[in-house]
């Protein structure tokens, strides 16, 4: 009984996480689609430097 409740709760949490991930991904795609390319490039460039990826 308790195990079934925990399983149902865990799968509900998994669905919520998946929905959150999908919403986040769609949000990022929509955002990057509407932001101007120069601003997007600058932001990506800053993130690349901040995370230590080789750049130029
Ligand atoms: Zn750079």
CB 32 within 8 A of CB 40: yes
Q: 30: CA distance to ligand 1 center in Å?
A: 25
Structural domain includes residue 47:
yes
The whole-number pLDDT of residue 23 equals 95
Structural domain includes residue 21:
yes
Structural domain includes residue 17:
yes
The whole-number pLDDT of residue 38 equals 83
Q: 22: CA distance to ligand 1 center in Å?
A: 30
Q: Taking the model in full, what pTM does it have? A: 0.42
DSSP symbols for 21-35: HHHHHHHHHHHHHHS
Q: Is the confidence at residue 8, as pLDDT, over 80?
A: no
Taking residues 22-36, what's their average pLDDT?
83
CB atoms within 5 A of ion ligand 1 belong to 55-56
Q: 35: CA distance to ligand 1 center in Å?
A: 20
Q: 32: CA distance to ligand 1 center in Å?
A: 19
The number of folded domains in the chain is 1
* Structural domain of 13: 2-51
Using CB atoms within 10 A of its CB, is residue 40 exposed (0-12), middle (13-18) or buried (19+)? middle
For the segment 33-55, what is each residue's pLDDT rounded down to a tens digit? Answer: 777 778 878 888 888 899 998 88
DSSP symbols for the chain: -HHHHHHHHHHHHHHHHHHHHHHHHHHHHHHHHHS-HHHHHHHHHHHHHHTT----
């Amino acid at each position: 009984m308790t195990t079934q409740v925990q399983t149902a709760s865990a799968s509900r949490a998994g669905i919520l996480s998946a929905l959150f991930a999908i919403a986040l991904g769609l949000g990022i795609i929509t955002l990057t689609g509407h932001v101007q390319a120069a601003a997007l490039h600058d932001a990506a460039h800053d993130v690349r430097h901040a995370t230590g990826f080789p750049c130029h």
